[in-house]
Chain A
Amino acid sequence: MARFVRWYGAGPLHLLVLVCSFALTAYAFVRLFAVRPVDVAIWFVGAAILHDLILLPLYSLADLSAHSVLRHRTERVPTVPWINYLRVPTFLSGVLLLVWFPLILDLAVPYGGDTRLPESVYLGRWLAITGVLFGASALAFALRLGGIRRAARAAEAGPPSGRDAEP
């Protein structure tokens, strides 16, 4: 037993569960790959690669770039952490596009003929939603910024006590 664990790297139950799972996987795989096996394999593995090695690095990089490119350059004016006012609308608009891009980009060829509904409305709607999200975020940011700067000015004018408001 201890020898098995040393050789295998985990307990026998671990192996048993995995073998059971692989048996089921193989049974389904044979059927999944019955037609156009290469294309299906590309889709299956490509799905993981597309997310892990393309989508995730891209949005991480976008986030980091936003941080360094748009960072606040003047020290004189008090500011507030701003990145989330950019992240939130970008993320919300982005997941909408990620899920509904075939309709938004007018890619679903049979859509209009099948359903008797025009597909052309989606791009405008997505842009409108995106506009509202960014607009609301900008407004929230402006209000927050205004509040903080007013407080800072008041503190400067009054007794020198409250400049520690910033996190």
Chain B
Amino acid sequence: MGSGGRSASGSSGGPQGPKRDQEPARRRLPRLGAASAAAIHAIASAGDAAAARAQAIARRVGRTPPPPGPFRPGFWRSPIRGPWLTSVFGLVLLVGIPVLFVTGALSYAAYNPDLGPLNDQTPDKGLLGFYLFDWPTQPYWLYRLTQGVHVTLGVVLVPVLLAKLWAVIPKLFEWLPVRSVAHGLERLSLLLLVGGVIFEFVTGILNIQLYYVFPGSFYTLHFYGAWVFIAAFIVHVCLKLGRMTRALGSRDLATELRTDLAHTVPEPPDPHGLVPTAPAAPTMTRRGALGLVGAGSLTLLVVTAGQSVGGLLRGTALLAPHNRDPGSGPNGFQINKTAAAVGVSPAHVGPSWRLEVRGRSPALVFTRAQLLALRQHAAALPIACVEGWSTPDQLWSGLRLTDLAAMAGLPGAGSVLVESVQPPGPYSSVVLRGNQIHDPRSLLALRVNGADLSLDHGFPARVIVPANPGVNNTKWVHRLTFRT
């Protein structure tokens, strides 16, 4: 990307290198001199000899020339690297990352982790769950939207993130590595920023492809990792916002978009070392660099977004995990986990299957035929997964959860424990909240799109609740326990 990221050791950069290198070092000296003078001032009251020695050391350290290679300012030669281009990428991330964080936090809330350990993958969250609220059931497509945006935007921002990191790479090798306490702390924060952002993107992108190689539970890693990252991100924004706005104001976007290669020149020298001191001849305009990154994002959008839109567009998501329908007919829509994958066999749900409904009155037991004989209700609702993919609305029919609560003697039930015949494991049972029970579209579904549920979609009975994350719509349900 951009042009000529680094110089080969020969070429034009080499011979002039050392002379140029001394200049920035000298420029930094006054600042460093100030710092060491302050240090000396403090020490002077304690002991003169020590102070003199410290002063000598500080002076010697300040004069240390940068080691060869990327620490030398002449090493980085792309003529388009500079504060303006960096700030354009930074601005895109400044908009995109908060959207990712907010949609991620919404997804966390959507699991209703405060309803107890069954829903809660991060029981030691403490203050980090301060914002949790009762996840609503409307609009019914809410989770489909927020999680589709979260995942698709994350994928689409990958080229922008790469570009931003490319633009600031000389800062990784700035010399001296630590100039003052403030500088050292800020660089530590930058390690958390860069480590954090890549950690979040990598865990998220691997998880949506079911490539579970990360060290531990995805929920734990991605959730706590997000807080580590956002803490560093906020600092970074606080410290760099002014510099970003100044840099953005330094050039006119429309003019840049009209500038051709012959007129592409480096930005004026900046005190922060992004603009190359020995620029190579331009091979790409700034317009070209922005276009390249934009094309990367657009390409990723095209091969990804269809899995969250569904319908005809699903086929356009050429490389996304849920880009084809697993079958045709009424049950031909996307499956999160097949019955076989979680250990549900036809024997679990054969003629001996019963639904048990518990509440205030003695437990009620139904066969599937008895459930079908009760008054059926319909609701058109999507399945939306934490992995970002979703289905368009499917027409479910079955019993309203609120009716079942009334039958159990708890018409005002505040929560329900939903248990599956699925062998114990993540999401084999889940707790739903009162607002989810009492939404008239919340069903214990027996049929979908005019046919019986298939085994992979939860036969004989499954829960479907508007705006609920997919895994909380438990399949193969065998017991509902309503509670006040």
- Closest residue of A by beta carbon distance from B77: A64
Q: Given the known A-B contacts A18-B189, A32-B224, are A95 and B195 also in contact in the complex, defined by CB atoms under 8 Å?
A: no
A11 shortest CB reach to chain B, Å: 9
- Closest residue of A by beta carbon distance from B338: A116
- Closest residue of B by beta carbon distance from A88: B292
Q: Given the known A-B contacts A27-B126, A40-B216, are A8 and B165 also in contact in the complex, defined by CB atoms under 8 Å?
A: no
Whether, in the assembled complex, A77 has its beta carbon less than 8 Å from a beta carbon of chain B, the answer is no
B183-213 contact mask (Cβ, 8 Å, vs A): 1 or 0: 1011001011011101100100110011110
Size band of the interface chain B makes with A: 35 or more
Contact B158 A60 (CB under 8 A): no
Contact B296 A32 (CB under 8 A): no
B205 shortest CB reach to chain A, Å: 6
A7 shortest CB reach to chain B, Å: 5
Q: Which of A27, A52, A91, A122 contacts B169 (CB 8 A)?
A: A52
- Closest residue of A by beta carbon distance from B172: A52
Q: Which of B169, B181, B296 contacts A95 (CB 8 A)?
A: B296
Contact A25 B224 (CB under 8 A): no
Contact B195 A24 (CB under 8 A): no
Contact B198 A51 (CB under 8 A): yes
Q: How far is the CA of A17 from the CA of B234 in the complex (A)?
A: 9
- Closest residue of B by beta carbon distance from A93: B299
* B residues 165-189 touching A (CB-CB < 8 Å): 165-166, 169, 172, 179-183, 185-186, 189
Q: How far is the CA of A103 from the CA of B387 in the complex (A)?
A: 14
Q: How far is the CA of A98 from the CA of B231 in the complex (A)?
A: 27
Contact B216 A102 (CB under 8 A): no
Whether, in the assembled complex, A28 has its beta carbon less than 8 Å from a beta carbon of chain B, the answer is yes
Q: Given the known A-B contacts A48-B198, A51-B194, A116-B338, are A6 and B41 also in contact in the complex, defined by CB atoms under 8 Å?
A: yes
Whether, in the assembled complex, B336 has its beta carbon less than 8 Å from a beta carbon of chain A, the answer is yes
Contact A45 B8 (CB under 8 A): no
Contact A56 B211 (CB under 8 A): no
Q: Which of B4, B185, B260 contacts A18 (CB 8 A)?
A: B185
Contact B299 A96 (CB under 8 A): yes
A28 shortest CB reach to chain B, Å: 4
Whether, in the assembled complex, B322 has its beta carbon less than 8 Å from a beta carbon of chain A, the answer is yes
Whether, in the assembled complex, A135 has its beta carbon less than 8 Å from a beta carbon of chain B, the answer is no
Whether, in the assembled complex, A167 has its beta carbon less than 8 Å from a beta carbon of chain B, the answer is yes
Contact B185 A103 (CB under 8 A): no
Contact B283 A9 (CB under 8 A): no
A90-122 contact mask (Cβ, 8 Å, vs B): 1 or 0: 011001101110111001111101111100011
Q: Which of A51, A57, A99 contacts B165 (CB 8 A)?
A: A51
Contact A31 B122 (CB under 8 A): yes
State which of B30-38, B363-371, B445-453 sits at the interface with chain A.
B30-38
Q: How far is the CA of A149 from the CA of B3 in the complex (A)?
A: 26
* B residues 1-30 touching A (CB-CB < 8 Å): 1, 3-6, 8
| B-binding residues in A (CB < 8 A) | 3, 6-10, 14-15, 17-18, 21-22, 24-25, 27-29, 31-32, 34-36, 39-40, 42-45, 47-48, 50-52, 56-57, 59-61, 63-64, 67-68, 81, 83-84, 87-88, 91-92, 95-96, 98-100, 102-104, 107-111, 113-117, 121-122, 125-126, 129, 167
Which 3 A-B residue pairings sit nearest by Cβ, starting from the closest? A9-B180, A6-B38, A60-B5
Offer 6 A-B interface pairs, CB within 8 angstroms, sorted by A: A14-B182, A43-B199, A43-B215, A88-B295, A115-B335, A116-B338
